[in-house]
Structure 1
Protein backbone atom coordinates (compact mmCIF):
# COMPACT_ATOMS: atom_id res chain seq x y z
CA UNK A 1 0.00 0.00 0.00
CA UNK A 2 2.96 2.30 0.33
CA UNK A 3 1.84 3.37 3.80
CA UNK A 4 4.91 4.54 5.71
CA UNK A 5 3.03 5.36 8.92
CA UNK A 6 4.32 3.33 11.83
CA UNK A 7 2.07 0.86 13.60
CA UNK A 8 2.24 2.97 16.73
CA UNK A 9 1.06 6.13 15.05
CA UNK A 10 -1.83 4.29 13.35
CA UNK A 11 -3.40 3.58 16.76
CA UNK A 12 -4.50 7.18 17.18
CA UNK A 13 -7.66 8.14 19.02
CA UNK A 14 -10.71 7.85 16.75
CA UNK A 15 -12.50 11.02 15.73
CA UNK A 16 -15.37 11.77 18.11
CA UNK A 17 -18.89 10.95 17.02
CA UNK A 18 -20.98 14.02 16.15
CA UNK A 19 -24.32 12.47 15.26
CA UNK A 20 -26.45 13.73 18.16
CA UNK A 21 -29.88 14.58 16.75
CA UNK A 22 -31.48 17.99 17.20
CA UNK A 23 -34.72 19.40 15.81
CA UNK A 24 -32.78 21.83 13.64
CA UNK A 25 -31.15 18.90 11.79
CA UNK A 26 -34.39 18.09 9.97
CA UNK A 27 -37.32 19.63 8.12
CA UNK A 28 -40.72 18.04 7.45
CA UNK A 29 -42.74 18.00 4.25
CA UNK A 30 -46.17 16.30 4.12
CA UNK A 31 -45.30 14.13 7.10
CA UNK A 32 -41.90 13.00 5.79
CA UNK A 33 -38.59 13.93 7.44
CA UNK A 34 -35.75 15.40 5.33
CA UNK A 35 -32.27 16.81 5.87
CA UNK A 36 -32.10 20.51 6.68
CA UNK A 37 -28.81 21.43 5.00
CA UNK A 38 -28.99 24.54 2.86
CA UNK A 39 -28.06 24.20 -0.83
CA UNK A 40 -27.87 20.36 -0.69
CA UNK A 41 -29.76 18.83 -3.63
CA UNK A 42 -30.54 15.41 -2.10
CA UNK A 43 -34.33 14.90 -2.51
CA UNK A 44 -35.00 11.68 -0.59
CA UNK A 45 -36.36 11.72 2.97
CA UNK A 46 -34.39 10.24 5.87
CA UNK A 47 -37.18 8.90 8.05
CA UNK A 48 -37.65 5.29 9.17
CA UNK A 49 -39.37 4.19 5.95
CA UNK A 50 -36.48 5.44 3.82
CA UNK A 51 -33.86 4.01 6.19
CA UNK A 52 -35.51 0.61 5.83
CA UNK A 53 -35.29 0.95 2.05
CA UNK A 54 -31.61 1.87 2.29
CA UNK A 55 -30.89 -1.21 4.40
CA UNK A 56 -32.59 -3.43 1.81
CA UNK A 57 -30.79 -1.61 -1.01
CA UNK A 58 -27.45 -2.39 0.65
CA UNK A 59 -28.17 -6.13 0.60
CA UNK A 60 -29.44 -5.85 -2.97
CA UNK A 61 -26.16 -4.37 -4.21
CA UNK A 62 -24.08 -6.73 -2.12
CA UNK A 63 -25.86 -9.61 -3.87
CA UNK A 64 -25.48 -8.07 -7.33
CA UNK A 65 -21.75 -7.54 -6.87
CA UNK A 66 -21.22 -10.56 -4.58
CA UNK A 67 -19.09 -8.40 -2.27
CA UNK A 68 -19.01 -5.23 -0.19
CA UNK A 69 -15.96 -3.72 -1.88
CA UNK A 70 -13.78 -4.19 -4.96
CA UNK A 71 -10.46 -2.47 -4.20
CA UNK A 72 -7.59 -4.81 -3.19
CA UNK A 73 -7.61 -3.77 0.45
CA UNK A 74 -8.62 -6.94 2.30
CA UNK A 75 -5.15 -7.47 3.77
CA UNK A 76 -5.06 -3.84 4.93
CA UNK A 77 -8.49 -4.17 6.55
CA UNK A 78 -7.15 -7.02 8.64
CA UNK A 79 -4.31 -4.89 10.01
CA UNK A 80 -4.60 -3.26 13.42
CA UNK A 81 -5.37 0.47 13.25
CA UNK A 82 -6.36 0.79 9.58
CA UNK A 83 -8.68 3.76 8.99
CA UNK A 84 -11.62 3.67 6.57
CA UNK A 85 -13.98 6.49 5.57
CA UNK A 86 -17.51 5.79 4.28
CA UNK A 87 -18.78 8.93 2.53
CA UNK A 88 -22.55 9.42 2.49
CA UNK A 89 -22.96 6.52 4.91
CA UNK A 90 -26.72 7.06 5.28
CA UNK A 91 -28.30 4.44 7.53
CA UNK A 92 -24.91 2.83 8.14
CA UNK A 93 -25.64 -0.56 6.56
CA UNK A 94 -22.30 -0.92 4.76
CA UNK A 95 -20.19 0.42 7.58
CA UNK A 96 -21.83 -1.75 10.27
CA UNK A 97 -21.31 -4.91 8.25
CA UNK A 98 -17.73 -4.00 7.39
CA UNK A 99 -16.94 -3.10 11.00
CA UNK A 100 -18.18 -6.50 12.10
CA UNK A 101 -16.11 -8.28 9.44
CA UNK A 102 -12.94 -6.26 10.17
CA UNK A 103 -12.82 -5.51 13.93
CA UNK A 104 -9.20 -4.28 13.83
CA UNK A 105 -10.09 -1.43 11.46
CA UNK A 106 -11.41 1.94 12.60
CA UNK A 107 -14.41 3.02 10.47
CA UNK A 108 -15.68 6.59 10.15
CA UNK A 109 -19.05 7.23 8.53
CA UNK A 110 -19.73 10.69 7.13
CA UNK A 111 -23.15 12.07 6.28
CA UNK A 112 -25.08 15.37 6.23
CA UNK A 113 -27.71 14.08 8.69
CA UNK A 114 -27.42 12.36 12.12
CA UNK A 115 -29.61 9.40 11.19
CA UNK A 116 -27.24 6.57 12.12
CA UNK A 117 -28.00 4.40 15.17
CA UNK A 118 -25.65 5.38 18.00
CA UNK A 119 -26.71 2.93 20.73
CA UNK A 120 -25.89 -0.27 18.85
CA UNK A 121 -22.87 0.78 16.80
CA UNK A 122 -19.70 -1.33 17.05
CA UNK A 123 -16.81 0.05 19.07
CA UNK A 124 -14.73 0.49 15.92
CA UNK A 125 -17.30 2.84 14.28
CA UNK A 126 -17.82 6.55 14.72
CA UNK A 127 -19.92 9.03 12.76
CA UNK A 128 -19.15 12.56 11.68
CA UNK A 129 -21.81 14.96 10.39
CA UNK A 130 -20.32 16.93 7.51
CA UNK A 131 -20.97 17.89 3.89
CA UNK A 132 -18.60 16.37 1.36
CA UNK A 133 -19.17 19.44 -0.84
CA UNK A 134 -17.21 21.45 1.74
CA UNK A 135 -13.70 20.86 3.04
CA UNK A 136 -13.79 17.65 5.06
CA UNK A 137 -12.88 17.87 8.78
CA UNK A 138 -9.85 15.59 8.38
CA UNK A 139 -6.14 16.18 7.94
CA UNK A 140 -4.34 15.33 4.73
CA UNK A 141 -3.43 11.64 4.33
CA UNK A 142 -5.76 10.36 7.09
CA UNK A 143 -7.44 7.26 5.65
CA UNK A 144 -6.15 3.99 4.20
CA UNK A 145 -9.35 3.36 2.22
CA UNK A 146 -12.28 5.59 1.23
CA UNK A 147 -15.61 4.20 0.02
CA UNK A 148 -18.48 6.16 -1.54
CA UNK A 149 -21.64 4.74 -3.06
CA UNK A 150 -24.75 6.15 -4.79
CA UNK A 151 -24.36 9.90 -4.38
CA UNK A 152 -25.79 10.76 -7.82
CA UNK A 153 -28.80 12.26 -6.00
CA UNK A 154 -26.59 14.43 -3.82
CA UNK A 155 -23.70 15.87 -5.82
CA UNK A 156 -24.27 18.60 -8.43
CA UNK A 157 -23.06 17.77 -11.90
CA UNK A 158 -20.10 20.17 -11.84
CA UNK A 159 -18.89 19.26 -8.33
CA UNK A 160 -17.79 15.67 -8.91
CA UNK A 161 -14.15 16.56 -9.70
CA UNK A 162 -14.01 18.74 -6.57
CA UNK A 163 -15.33 15.90 -4.41
CA UNK A 164 -12.86 13.40 -5.87
CA UNK A 165 -10.03 15.88 -5.25
CA UNK A 166 -11.13 16.31 -1.63
CA UNK A 167 -11.39 12.57 -1.06
CA UNK A 168 -7.94 12.12 -2.55
CA UNK A 169 -6.59 14.80 -0.20
CA UNK A 170 -7.62 12.89 2.92
CA UNK A 171 -6.49 9.54 1.48
CA UNK A 172 -3.04 8.28 2.48
CA UNK A 173 -0.45 7.72 -0.24
CA UNK A 174 -0.82 4.08 -1.20
CA UNK A 175 -4.43 4.06 -0.03
CA UNK A 176 -7.44 3.25 -2.21
CA UNK A 177 -10.44 5.32 -3.28
CA UNK A 178 -13.56 3.44 -4.46
CA UNK A 179 -16.79 4.89 -5.89
CA UNK A 180 -19.86 2.99 -7.05
CA UNK A 181 -22.71 4.63 -8.96
CA UNK A 182 -25.79 3.57 -10.89
CA UNK A 183 -27.59 4.99 -13.90
CA UNK A 184 -31.00 5.82 -12.37
CA UNK A 185 -32.69 5.42 -15.76
CA UNK A 186 -33.21 1.73 -16.62
CA UNK A 187 -32.77 0.30 -20.08
CA UNK A 188 -35.31 -1.88 -21.91
CA UNK A 189 -38.42 -0.27 -20.41
CA UNK A 190 -42.13 -0.37 -21.15
CA UNK A 191 -44.18 2.73 -22.07
CA UNK A 192 -45.46 3.63 -18.60
CA UNK A 193 -42.07 2.99 -16.99
CA UNK A 194 -40.49 5.25 -19.57
CA UNK A 195 -42.88 8.06 -18.68
CA UNK A 196 -42.15 7.74 -14.97
CA UNK A 197 -38.41 7.76 -15.49
CA UNK A 198 -38.72 10.79 -17.77
CA UNK A 199 -40.05 12.48 -14.63
CA UNK A 200 -36.95 11.29 -12.77
CA UNK A 201 -34.71 12.76 -15.48
CA UNK A 202 -36.58 16.06 -15.30
CA UNK A 203 -36.26 16.16 -11.51
CA UNK A 204 -32.52 15.49 -11.76
CA UNK A 205 -32.17 18.20 -14.41
CA UNK A 206 -33.99 20.74 -12.24
CA UNK A 207 -31.59 19.94 -9.40
CA UNK A 208 -28.48 20.00 -11.62
CA UNK A 209 -27.77 16.32 -10.90
CA UNK A 210 -26.15 13.98 -13.41
CA UNK A 211 -27.75 10.60 -14.26
CA UNK A 212 -24.78 9.83 -16.53
CA UNK A 213 -22.24 9.92 -13.70
CA UNK A 214 -21.48 6.15 -13.73
CA UNK A 215 -20.03 6.51 -17.23
CA UNK A 216 -17.86 9.49 -16.22
CA UNK A 217 -16.25 8.22 -13.01
CA UNK A 218 -13.20 6.74 -14.70
CA UNK A 219 -12.42 9.96 -16.59
CA UNK A 220 -12.77 11.99 -13.37
CA UNK A 221 -10.32 9.64 -11.66
CA UNK A 222 -7.91 10.04 -14.57
CA UNK A 223 -8.17 13.83 -14.44
CA UNK A 224 -7.41 13.93 -10.73
CA UNK A 225 -3.69 13.40 -11.31
CA UNK A 226 -2.70 11.59 -8.09
CA UNK A 227 -4.66 8.39 -8.69
CA UNK A 228 -3.06 5.40 -10.39
CA UNK A 229 -3.93 1.79 -11.25
CA UNK A 230 -7.46 2.96 -12.08
CA UNK A 231 -9.87 0.04 -12.50
CA UNK A 232 -13.44 0.17 -13.79
CA UNK A 233 -15.97 -2.65 -13.39
CA UNK A 234 -19.49 -2.78 -14.82
CA UNK A 235 -22.51 -4.75 -13.64
CA UNK A 236 -26.27 -4.79 -14.06
CA UNK A 237 -29.08 -4.46 -11.57
CA UNK A 238 -31.73 -6.64 -13.25
CA UNK A 239 -35.50 -6.45 -12.84
CA UNK A 240 -36.55 -9.41 -15.01
CA UNK A 241 -38.15 -12.72 -14.03
CA UNK A 242 -35.05 -14.74 -14.98
CA UNK A 243 -33.33 -13.38 -11.89
CA UNK A 244 -35.99 -14.61 -9.46
CA UNK A 245 -35.99 -12.99 -6.03
CA UNK A 246 -33.23 -10.58 -7.08
CA UNK A 247 -35.45 -9.08 -9.78
CA UNK A 248 -38.37 -8.86 -7.36
CA UNK A 249 -36.20 -7.09 -4.79
CA UNK A 250 -34.91 -4.67 -7.44
CA UNK A 251 -38.47 -3.83 -8.53
CA UNK A 252 -39.53 -3.24 -4.93
CA UNK A 253 -36.52 -1.00 -4.32
CA UNK A 254 -37.41 1.05 -7.41
CA UNK A 255 -41.07 1.25 -6.40
CA UNK A 256 -40.22 2.48 -2.91
CA UNK A 257 -37.78 4.97 -4.38
CA UNK A 258 -40.61 6.42 -6.47
CA UNK A 259 -42.91 6.54 -3.45
CA UNK A 260 -40.30 8.36 -1.39
CA UNK A 261 -39.58 10.81 -4.22
CA UNK A 262 -43.27 11.36 -4.96
CA UNK A 263 -43.45 14.96 -3.71
CA UNK A 264 -40.67 16.11 -6.05
CA UNK A 265 -41.72 13.93 -8.99
CA UNK A 266 -45.25 15.36 -8.88
CA UNK A 267 -43.66 18.79 -8.84
CA UNK A 268 -41.63 17.94 -11.95
CA UNK A 269 -44.44 16.32 -13.93
CA UNK A 270 -47.55 18.25 -12.80
CA UNK A 271 -49.65 15.06 -12.90
CA UNK A 272 -52.14 14.34 -10.12
CA UNK A 273 -51.36 12.01 -7.22
CA UNK A 274 -53.86 9.30 -8.22
CA UNK A 275 -52.44 9.07 -11.73
CA UNK A 276 -48.93 8.82 -10.31
CA UNK A 277 -49.94 5.94 -8.02
CA UNK A 278 -51.66 4.10 -10.85
CA UNK A 279 -48.65 4.52 -13.15
CA UNK A 280 -46.39 3.31 -10.35
CA UNK A 281 -48.24 -0.01 -10.10
CA UNK A 282 -48.10 -0.48 -13.88
CA UNK A 283 -44.43 0.47 -13.99
CA UNK A 284 -43.52 -2.12 -11.34
CA UNK A 285 -45.08 -4.83 -13.53
CA UNK A 286 -43.38 -3.49 -16.67
CA UNK A 287 -39.92 -3.43 -15.14
CA UNK A 288 -40.31 -7.10 -14.32
CA UNK A 289 -42.02 -8.21 -17.53
CA UNK A 290 -39.79 -6.24 -19.94
CA UNK A 291 -36.60 -7.47 -18.26
CA UNK A 292 -35.46 -3.91 -17.57
CA UNK A 293 -32.07 -3.32 -15.95
CA UNK A 294 -29.82 -0.53 -14.69
CA UNK A 295 -26.13 -0.10 -15.41
CA UNK A 296 -23.97 0.12 -12.31
CA UNK A 297 -20.27 0.97 -12.32
CA UNK A 298 -17.53 0.63 -9.74
CA UNK A 299 -14.25 2.54 -10.13
CA UNK A 300 -11.30 2.30 -7.75
CA UNK A 301 -7.72 3.52 -7.77
CA UNK A 302 -4.62 3.83 -5.64
CA UNK A 303 -3.22 7.16 -4.50
CA UNK A 304 0.37 7.51 -5.66
CA UNK A 305 3.33 8.08 -3.37
CA UNK A 306 3.94 11.66 -4.47
Structure 2
Protein backbone atom coordinates (compact mmCIF):
# COMPACT_ATOMS: atom_id res chain seq x y z
CA UNK A 1 0.00 0.00 0.00
CA UNK A 2 2.82 2.39 0.90
CA UNK A 3 4.54 1.58 -2.39
CA UNK A 4 1.32 2.26 -4.30
CA UNK A 5 0.85 5.60 -2.54
CA UNK A 6 4.45 6.58 -3.28
CA UNK A 7 4.01 5.69 -6.94
CA UNK A 8 0.82 7.77 -7.14
CA UNK A 9 2.59 10.74 -5.56
CA UNK A 10 5.49 10.48 -8.00
CA UNK A 11 3.07 10.23 -10.94
CA UNK A 12 1.19 13.31 -9.75
CA UNK A 13 4.44 15.25 -9.35
CA UNK A 14 5.48 14.32 -12.90
CA UNK A 15 2.12 15.45 -14.27
CA UNK A 16 2.46 18.74 -12.37
CA UNK A 17 5.96 19.19 -13.80
CA UNK A 18 4.67 18.55 -17.32
CA UNK A 19 2.00 21.24 -16.87
CA UNK A 20 4.57 23.70 -15.50
CA UNK A 21 6.71 22.97 -18.55
CA UNK A 22 4.24 25.04 -20.56
CA UNK A 23 3.84 27.80 -17.91
CA UNK A 24 7.47 28.50 -16.99
CA UNK A 25 8.59 29.86 -20.42
CA UNK A 26 6.02 32.66 -20.10
CA UNK A 27 7.62 33.65 -16.78
CA UNK A 28 11.10 33.69 -18.35
CA UNK A 29 9.84 35.67 -21.35
CA UNK A 30 8.86 38.51 -18.99
CA UNK A 31 12.53 38.83 -18.04
CA UNK A 32 13.68 39.44 -21.61
CA UNK A 33 10.84 41.85 -22.39
CA UNK A 34 11.63 43.92 -19.30
CA UNK A 35 15.37 43.80 -19.96
CA UNK A 36 14.89 45.32 -23.41
CA UNK A 37 12.35 47.85 -22.13
CA UNK A 38 14.57 49.12 -19.29
CA UNK A 39 17.99 49.22 -20.98
CA UNK A 40 17.92 53.02 -21.11
CA UNK A 41 17.24 53.69 -17.42
CA UNK A 42 18.49 50.68 -15.35
CA UNK A 43 22.11 49.51 -15.83
CA UNK A 44 22.37 45.72 -16.37
CA UNK A 45 24.36 44.72 -13.26
CA UNK A 46 22.20 46.90 -11.02
CA UNK A 47 19.11 45.29 -12.53
CA UNK A 48 20.47 41.79 -11.86
CA UNK A 49 21.56 42.70 -8.33
CA UNK A 50 18.19 44.22 -7.45
CA UNK A 51 16.38 41.22 -8.92
CA UNK A 52 18.24 38.57 -6.95
CA UNK A 53 18.50 40.52 -3.72
CA UNK A 54 14.75 40.97 -3.95
CA UNK A 55 14.25 37.24 -4.50
CA UNK A 56 16.23 36.50 -1.33
CA UNK A 57 14.21 39.03 0.70
CA UNK A 58 10.91 37.61 -0.56
CA UNK A 59 11.77 33.94 0.07
CA UNK A 60 13.77 34.22 3.28
CA UNK A 61 10.75 34.54 5.63
CA UNK A 62 9.37 31.28 4.22
CA UNK A 63 12.55 29.21 4.30
CA UNK A 64 14.83 30.93 6.82
CA UNK A 65 14.30 28.21 9.44
CA UNK A 66 15.08 25.48 6.93
CA UNK A 67 18.29 27.25 5.95
CA UNK A 68 19.30 27.58 9.59
CA UNK A 69 18.64 23.90 10.26
CA UNK A 70 20.85 23.00 7.31
CA UNK A 71 23.60 25.52 8.04
CA UNK A 72 26.19 22.73 8.33
CA UNK A 73 25.34 21.55 4.81
CA UNK A 74 25.48 25.15 3.54
CA UNK A 75 28.98 25.58 4.97
CA UNK A 76 30.10 22.24 3.56
CA UNK A 77 28.73 22.84 0.05
CA UNK A 78 29.26 26.60 -0.19
CA UNK A 79 31.36 26.21 -3.36
CA UNK A 80 28.48 24.46 -5.13
CA UNK A 81 26.04 27.23 -4.24
CA UNK A 82 28.58 29.82 -5.35
CA UNK A 83 29.07 28.14 -8.73
CA UNK A 84 25.31 27.76 -9.29
CA UNK A 85 24.84 31.41 -8.29
CA UNK A 86 27.54 32.50 -10.72
CA UNK A 87 26.07 30.46 -13.58
CA UNK A 88 22.35 31.01 -13.01
CA UNK A 89 22.19 34.48 -11.47
CA UNK A 90 25.45 36.16 -12.44
CA UNK A 91 26.20 35.20 -16.03
CA UNK A 92 22.54 34.50 -16.87
CA UNK A 93 21.49 37.69 -15.10
CA UNK A 94 23.78 40.56 -15.96
CA UNK A 95 25.06 38.80 -19.09
CA UNK A 96 21.60 38.61 -20.65
CA UNK A 97 20.84 42.23 -19.74
CA UNK A 98 24.09 43.37 -21.36
CA UNK A 99 23.46 41.31 -24.49
CA UNK A 100 19.81 42.34 -24.87
CA UNK A 101 20.84 45.96 -25.34
CA UNK A 102 23.12 45.26 -28.32
CA UNK A 103 21.53 42.49 -30.36
CA UNK A 104 18.26 41.72 -32.12
CA UNK A 105 15.30 39.71 -30.90
CA UNK A 106 15.74 37.30 -33.83
CA UNK A 107 19.32 36.53 -32.85
CA UNK A 108 18.42 36.10 -29.18
CA UNK A 109 15.67 33.65 -30.09
CA UNK A 110 17.94 31.70 -32.41
CA UNK A 111 20.81 31.50 -29.92
CA UNK A 112 18.64 30.50 -26.97
CA UNK A 113 16.97 27.85 -29.12
CA UNK A 114 20.32 26.04 -28.96
CA UNK A 115 20.24 25.83 -25.13
CA UNK A 116 18.26 22.57 -24.95
CA UNK A 117 20.72 20.95 -27.34
CA UNK A 118 23.63 22.12 -25.16
CA UNK A 119 21.86 20.71 -22.08
CA UNK A 120 21.40 17.34 -23.77
CA UNK A 121 25.06 17.25 -24.86
CA UNK A 122 26.34 18.24 -21.41
CA UNK A 123 24.07 15.72 -19.68
CA UNK A 124 25.34 12.98 -21.93
CA UNK A 125 29.02 13.99 -21.74
CA UNK A 126 29.09 14.59 -17.97
CA UNK A 127 26.62 12.03 -16.65
CA UNK A 128 25.77 9.63 -19.49
CA UNK A 129 22.09 10.71 -19.67
CA UNK A 130 20.32 9.80 -22.88
CA UNK A 131 17.04 10.64 -24.58
CA UNK A 132 14.99 7.95 -26.25
CA UNK A 133 14.48 8.02 -30.01
CA UNK A 134 10.94 9.28 -29.42
CA UNK A 135 12.17 12.10 -27.21
CA UNK A 136 14.92 12.98 -29.68
CA UNK A 137 12.41 13.26 -32.51
CA UNK A 138 10.23 15.46 -30.30
CA UNK A 139 13.19 17.73 -29.56
CA UNK A 140 13.99 17.99 -33.28
CA UNK A 141 10.36 18.83 -34.04
CA UNK A 142 10.34 21.57 -31.38
CA UNK A 143 13.64 23.01 -32.66
CA UNK A 144 12.21 23.12 -36.18
CA UNK A 145 9.23 25.09 -34.88
CA UNK A 146 11.54 27.57 -33.14
CA UNK A 147 13.53 28.10 -36.33
CA UNK A 148 10.31 28.71 -38.29
CA UNK A 149 9.41 31.50 -35.85
CA UNK A 150 12.78 33.21 -35.45
CA UNK A 151 13.40 33.11 -39.22
CA UNK A 152 9.83 34.28 -39.88
CA UNK A 153 9.18 31.31 -42.13
CA UNK A 154 11.99 32.31 -44.53
CA UNK A 155 15.03 29.94 -44.52
CA UNK A 156 16.93 32.50 -46.59
CA UNK A 157 16.99 34.75 -43.51
CA UNK A 158 19.85 32.59 -42.22
CA UNK A 159 22.09 34.12 -44.89
CA UNK A 160 21.30 37.64 -43.67
CA UNK A 161 22.13 37.02 -40.00
CA UNK A 162 25.02 38.97 -38.49
CA UNK A 163 26.53 38.50 -35.05
CA UNK A 164 27.72 41.13 -32.58
CA UNK A 165 29.29 41.35 -29.12
CA UNK A 166 25.78 41.10 -27.70
CA UNK A 167 25.25 37.83 -29.55
CA UNK A 168 28.39 36.39 -27.96
CA UNK A 169 27.14 37.47 -24.53
CA UNK A 170 23.81 35.75 -25.15
CA UNK A 171 25.63 32.60 -26.32
CA UNK A 172 27.74 32.65 -23.16
CA UNK A 173 24.58 33.05 -21.08
CA UNK A 174 22.93 30.15 -22.92
CA UNK A 175 25.91 27.87 -22.23
CA UNK A 176 25.96 29.02 -18.60
CA UNK A 177 22.25 28.28 -18.26
CA UNK A 178 22.72 24.81 -19.72
CA UNK A 179 25.48 24.00 -17.22
CA UNK A 180 23.37 25.43 -14.35
CA UNK A 181 20.48 23.17 -15.36
CA UNK A 182 22.60 20.02 -15.50
CA UNK A 183 24.36 20.67 -12.18
CA UNK A 184 21.10 21.63 -10.46
CA UNK A 185 19.75 18.15 -11.11
CA UNK A 186 22.93 16.15 -10.56
CA UNK A 187 24.12 17.69 -7.30
CA UNK A 188 22.17 16.21 -4.37
CA UNK A 189 20.83 18.77 -1.93
CA UNK A 190 19.02 18.50 1.44
CA UNK A 191 17.12 21.75 0.86
CA UNK A 192 13.65 22.16 -0.57
CA UNK A 193 13.03 24.12 -3.79
CA UNK A 194 12.49 27.51 -2.09
CA UNK A 195 15.41 27.19 0.33
CA UNK A 196 17.78 26.03 -2.39
CA UNK A 197 16.76 28.89 -4.68
CA UNK A 198 17.30 31.34 -1.81
CA UNK A 199 20.79 30.01 -1.11
CA UNK A 200 21.77 30.11 -4.79
CA UNK A 201 20.26 33.58 -5.31
CA UNK A 202 22.13 34.92 -2.26
CA UNK A 203 25.39 33.49 -3.61
CA UNK A 204 24.72 35.08 -7.00
CA UNK A 205 23.88 38.46 -5.46
CA UNK A 206 27.11 38.41 -3.42
CA UNK A 207 29.22 37.47 -6.45
CA UNK A 208 27.69 40.34 -8.43
CA UNK A 209 28.79 42.95 -5.87
CA UNK A 210 32.31 43.63 -7.27
CA UNK A 211 30.89 44.09 -10.77
CA UNK A 212 28.15 46.29 -9.34
CA UNK A 213 30.76 48.49 -7.67
CA UNK A 214 32.53 48.95 -11.01
CA UNK A 215 29.25 49.77 -12.75
CA UNK A 216 28.21 52.31 -10.11
CA UNK A 217 31.60 54.03 -10.42
CA UNK A 218 31.47 54.15 -14.21
CA UNK A 219 27.76 54.64 -14.96
CA UNK A 220 26.21 55.83 -11.72
CA UNK A 221 23.24 54.46 -9.78
CA UNK A 222 19.81 53.95 -11.35
CA UNK A 223 17.15 56.55 -10.62
CA UNK A 224 14.54 55.05 -8.30
CA UNK A 225 11.17 56.28 -9.49
CA UNK A 226 7.84 54.43 -9.76
CA UNK A 227 8.82 52.95 -13.11
CA UNK A 228 12.06 51.50 -11.74
CA UNK A 229 10.39 50.11 -8.63
CA UNK A 230 7.58 48.48 -10.66
CA UNK A 231 10.15 46.88 -12.96
CA UNK A 232 12.20 45.46 -10.10
CA UNK A 233 9.13 44.12 -8.27
CA UNK A 234 7.94 42.40 -11.45
CA UNK A 235 11.39 40.90 -12.08
CA UNK A 236 11.60 39.61 -8.51
CA UNK A 237 8.18 37.96 -8.48
CA UNK A 238 7.72 36.71 -12.06
CA UNK A 239 11.02 35.66 -13.72
CA UNK A 240 12.79 35.57 -10.34
CA UNK A 241 10.83 33.65 -7.70
CA UNK A 242 8.24 32.23 -10.11
CA UNK A 243 10.35 31.09 -13.05
CA UNK A 244 13.34 29.74 -11.14
CA UNK A 245 11.22 27.90 -8.56
CA UNK A 246 9.12 26.17 -11.20
CA UNK A 247 12.21 25.45 -13.30
CA UNK A 248 13.86 23.78 -10.30
CA UNK A 249 10.71 21.72 -9.68
CA UNK A 250 10.56 20.58 -13.31
CA UNK A 251 14.28 19.72 -13.33
CA UNK A 252 13.84 17.60 -10.20
CA UNK A 253 10.98 15.55 -11.66
CA UNK A 254 11.70 15.44 -15.40
CA UNK A 255 15.50 15.72 -15.53
CA UNK A 256 17.69 18.45 -17.10
CA UNK A 257 17.48 17.33 -20.73
CA UNK A 258 13.69 17.37 -20.93
CA UNK A 259 13.42 20.49 -18.73
CA UNK A 260 15.75 22.39 -21.06
CA UNK A 261 13.28 21.82 -23.88
CA UNK A 262 10.92 24.42 -22.37
CA UNK A 263 13.21 27.10 -23.84
CA UNK A 264 11.79 26.12 -27.22
CA UNK A 265 8.52 27.73 -26.14
CA UNK A 266 10.03 31.16 -25.50
CA UNK A 267 9.81 32.43 -29.13
CA UNK A 268 6.18 31.26 -29.26
CA UNK A 269 5.31 33.09 -26.05
CA UNK A 270 7.24 36.19 -27.10
CA UNK A 271 5.19 36.37 -30.30
CA UNK A 272 1.92 35.93 -28.38
CA UNK A 273 2.83 38.59 -25.80
CA UNK A 274 3.89 41.02 -28.53
CA UNK A 275 0.52 40.41 -30.19
CA UNK A 276 -1.43 40.94 -26.95
CA UNK A 277 0.60 43.80 -25.42
CA UNK A 278 2.08 45.60 -28.40
CA UNK A 279 -0.53 44.96 -31.07
CA UNK A 280 1.91 43.22 -33.40
CA UNK A 281 0.43 40.90 -36.02
CA UNK A 282 0.37 37.17 -35.30
CA UNK A 283 1.59 35.86 -38.64
CA UNK A 284 1.16 32.47 -40.32
CA UNK A 285 4.70 31.43 -39.40
CA UNK A 286 3.83 31.95 -35.71
CA UNK A 287 0.95 29.48 -36.00
CA UNK A 288 3.11 27.02 -37.93
CA UNK A 289 5.94 27.29 -35.40
CA UNK A 290 3.57 26.75 -32.47
CA UNK A 291 2.03 23.76 -34.26
CA UNK A 292 5.50 22.17 -34.37
CA UNK A 293 6.79 23.24 -30.94
CA UNK A 294 3.83 22.12 -28.81
CA UNK A 295 3.55 18.50 -30.00
CA UNK A 296 7.35 18.32 -30.13
CA UNK A 297 7.52 19.20 -26.44
CA UNK A 298 4.86 16.61 -25.66
CA UNK A 299 6.75 13.80 -27.39
CA UNK A 300 10.06 14.90 -25.87
CA UNK A 301 8.80 15.02 -22.29
CA UNK A 302 5.97 12.50 -22.07
CA UNK A 303 6.79 8.88 -21.37
CA UNK A 304 4.14 6.47 -22.61
CA UNK A 305 2.73 4.06 -20.02
CA UNK A 306 4.23 0.61 -20.02
CA UNK A 307 1.92 -2.08 -21.35
- TM-score with structure 2 length normalisation? 0.29
Q: Which protein has the bigger helix share? A: 2
- TM-score with structure 1 length normalisation? 0.29
